[in-house]
Amino acid sequence: MQAMCNRYVSPDQAAIERFWHIGARNQPRLWATEIFPRANGPFIRAAEQAHGPELVVGQWGLIPFFAKTSKLPYSNNNARSEELTDKPTFRGPWLRGLRCIIPAVSVDEPNWETGKNIWWRFRRADGMPWGLAGLWNTWVDKGTGE
């Protein structure tokens, strides 16, 4: 999955199911509250087998189709809308319509104005969750098949 931030706080499964009207038909999932790039976190996508949305868990940050390993030396957790069709990592999921919603309570962005990183936290004033626009994809390790 993909988002325009560097870390975020995720709602719990029950809050996601309630807010996005997904229902409790999802398999129980566990994830950390604070999600950093390459960590597992929840996202909502169109269900592959059923109608309506489904809640799934995936690594935050896309692994490009051409990667030989999932351990990338660089981060793929940010994409600009004007680059989606140009960058090989994002082009395939974008053109195939693999869009998703990344549920968040808050999103943190670094601010370097002082020369030192001070995290800015963004959240809704009413404390409710909100959805970040994202892309998702599947990557298979050619060596292990995982």
DSSP 4-73: SSSEEEPPPHHHHHHHTT--S-SPP----SEE-TTSEEEEEEE-SSSSSEEEEEEESSPPPTT-SSS--S
pLDDT for res 26: 64
User: Nearest Cα to 91, choosing from 56, 60, 64, 57?
Assistant: 64
Cβ neighbours, 10 Å, residue 78: 13
pLDDT for res 41: 92
User: Taking residues 74-100, what's their average pLDDT?
Assistant: 85
Domain boundaries, the chain: 7-135
Q: Which residues contact 144 (CB under 8 A, 6 or more apart)?
A: none
Q: Which residues contact 138 (CB under 8 A, 6 or more apart)?
A: none
pTM: 0.83
pLDDT digits over 92-133, tens only? 999 999 999 999 999 998 888 999 988 899 999 999 999 999
What is the CATH topology of the domain spanning 7-135?
A: hypothetical protein yedk fold (3.90.1680)
